[in-house]
Amino acid sequence: MATTTGSNPYKQDLFAALRAVRKLMANGNDTEQVFRIMRALNGPSMPRNFSRLLATHDGRRMVYQRIELAERLSDPAYVAGFAPGTVGAAYRAFLERTGYSADGLARVSNLDQEPVLEDAYLWFGRRTRDIHDIWHVLTGYRADESLGEAALVAFSYAQTGGRGWAIIAIAASLKSLRVTGSLAFARAVLEGYRLGRRAGWLLGEDYEQLLDEPIDAARARLGIGAPRRYLACNPMQEWTA
């Protein structure tokens, strides 16, 4: 997630981010641009969040173990084993509905085709990437339409402080306002940010345990509220797994 340009691995590159934003707004399916924006702007949030994780007992254990979630979530037998009603079962349904995969996301994010390195910071970046689709499931924001993604990136900005998320949410909201003349999209995105601020810190969760938790209980424990403005824009959709 952090750029490796120059002597400062967390240096931000606003111009590179803006170029990628223009391409992403022109083609919402160009997922590569999302990772270019993350690389250009999210660097400073990495050490803050990593230090916060290390400050917790479970976080120190997870950093020591450094389990690669993409590998676990790409195992069909592992994904098939989640009981009905759990976060994992909802994630399985998400994969079936969208056709997405954890290893597919990992391939798209590897912009320079670099090998996976045994480095704690890089592991943390991969982990942050790998839980994105689980956040779709927990929040109820669908990944197969632009508002769902925009609202989730606003939620993600509130959770992580990564400015790349913020610039995508703002750009998507401005594009919607220009095209539709309505503030409904922007209000749903702002709601996503507010829900992210109110929720527990999802980066600190042990996802192998969370996936086995009943989804309603997980949402209640983590303080993830229903995205009412988002649902109002999607009247046929319910806040369900």
Distances (CA, A) of 36 to 21, 92, 120, 127, 156: 9, 28, 21, 17, 16
pLDDT string in tens for the chain (241-residue length)? 433 444 455 677 888 888 988 998 988 888 888 888 888 888 888 899 999 999 998 999 999 999 999 999 999 999 999 999 999 999 999 999 999 988 877 777 665 556 556 788 889 989 999 999 999 999 999 997 799 999 999 999 999 999 999 999 999 999 999 999 999 999 999 999 999 999 999 999 999 999 999 999 999 999 999 999 999 998 767 776 5
CA–CA distance, 21 with 33 (Å, rounded to integer): 7
At 5 the pLDDT is 40
69-89 pLDDT, tens digit per residue, is 999 999 999 999 999 999 999
At 10 the pLDDT is 65
31-51 pLDDT, tens digit per residue, is 888 888 888 888 888 899 999
Query: Could you state, in order of their start, the residue ranges of all structural domains in the chain?
Result: 14-233
Structure tokens at 225: 């509220």
Listing DSSP states for 50-61 in one string gives HHHHHTSHHHHH
Structure tokens at 226: 């229903």
DSSP label at residue 145 = S
148-163 pLDDT, tens digit per residue, is 999 999 999 999 999 9
Q: What is the pTM of this model?
A: 0.89
Nearest to 105 by CA among 128, 124, 87, 84: 128
CA–CA distance, 6 with 19 (Å, rounded to integer): 20
- By the 8 A CB rule, do 35 and 107 touch? no
